[in-house]
Amino acid sequence: MKLLFENWREYLNEIGEGTPTTYDYKLAPRSSDENVLYTFKSETEGGGGSYYNVLFNQYETEGTDYWDISFETEFGGLGETGEGQPLKIMSTVLKIIKDFISRPDLNKNITTYAFAGAHRSEVSDPEAEIAQALEPSKPPTKTVRTKLYLRYLKKHMPKDTKLVPRGNAIWFTVPAPQRPSPKPVDPEYLDQLGGLF
């Protein structure tokens, strides 16, 4: 019983104001300018674990470029691995998303992202998945995973992030990065320069 309460306390800290722990991740070598892949491995008590991929694919729809985010296990789907660390895995995925958003060398200053909670084995075409989510006649319902990611995004994305849940898909746009204002030039320095010429 004590172990059960300890596990619940850890989950509450990760969901609440506590700092979630994450796995170490790495950026895979790039094979294309439109794809960015991060990988990480979970750890289990027996020394094993599973490999995970977080893939960013660049697409364009209705004149807007966006990054589609997909998350898969080494087995090719989003199924449960049975490792008992769902929040640590989610926290790692969120940390990877934040890292990608903060790197214009990777994200090409594209600020719109899309994520769908459907299993990749169920949907073979990400653009069709997004189009299905936009269908007004009968939008798909959110999966538990989509609801959880929506909560995480609301809590951890920059202040002015626009979140748009559309059925089982989530679209979000982060604010454009602020460029630092140039330092004002000292008027005395300008006078000295003027005297030189």
Query: Over the stretch 11-30, which tens digit does the pLDDT of each residue have?
Result: 545 444 445 689 999 999 98
With beta carbons less than 8 A apart as the criterion, state whether 116 and 130 touch: yes
The pLDDT of residue 124: 44
pLDDT at 90: 83
Residue spans of the chain under pLDDT 70: 1-20, 75-84, 117-145, 178-183, 185, 189-190, 192-197
Decide: pTM greater than 0.75: no
Can you give the pLDDT at residue 122?
44
Distance CA 16, CA 11 (A): 8
Distance CA 143, CA 84 (A): 19
> CB–CB of 150/165 below 8 Å?
yes
pLDDT at 78: 52
Q: How is residue 175 written in tokens?
A: 């604010």
- Residue 121 has a pLDDT of 40
Q: Which amino acid is at 108?
A: K
In this predicted structure, what is the pLDDT of residue 112? 93
Place of tokens 């990480």: 40
- pLDDT, residue 155, reads 81
Tell me which H or E stretch contains 87: helix 86-101
What would the two tokens of residue 60 be?
Answer: 């364009």
**pLDDT at residue 62 in the model:** 84
Per-residue model confidence (pLDDT) at position 128: 55
pLDDT at res. 65: 93
Q: How far apart are CA 188 and CA 144, in angstroms?
A: 63
